[in-house]
Amino acid sequence: MLLQTVTPASVLGTTVLFALFLSVTAHLAARNVLGDVDPRRALYVGPLPAVIGVVGGAFALPEALIVAAALLVDGVMFAWSYDQPRRIVIGMTVIHAVITTLLGIVLLGIAVLLAARPG
């Protein structure tokens, strides 16, 4: 196994890319529930759950705690950004979790396949 050096730039880059990924999937979830929405609103949703995930992983917190905190903050950010009733916000949060999980699995599978190719 290769040793990897953790630098502030690598942590910042990971957090920014994760926040962008979560913002894209938040927009997909909002479009699924609300129809045509402004994509800029999704940019408010992604950063805080991404920070929770990166910081929680850095401090080796229990995964259940990290996921619960990220989902709670995700719902709060959906409510703040889209100004919808609680029931719709819960639906958007659940759909966001599902879309993020499925798209993450697909992208991870693609990365594993590309890393395992011969040559």
Q: Give the number of other Cβ atoms within 10 Å of residue 27's Cβ.
A: 21
Burial profile 62-90: b = 16 or more Cβ within 10 angstroms, e = fewer: eeeebeebbbebbbebbbebbebeeeebe
Tokens of 43: 């940019």
Q: pTM of the prediction? A: 0.90
Q: Which of 99, 107, 97 is nearest to 17 (CA)?
A: 107
Note the pLDDT tens digit of each residue in 6-36.
888 989 999 999 999 999 999 999 999 999 9
Indicate whether 59 pLDDT > 60. Answer: yes
Whether 53 contacts 63, CB under 8 Å: no
Type of residue numbered 34: L
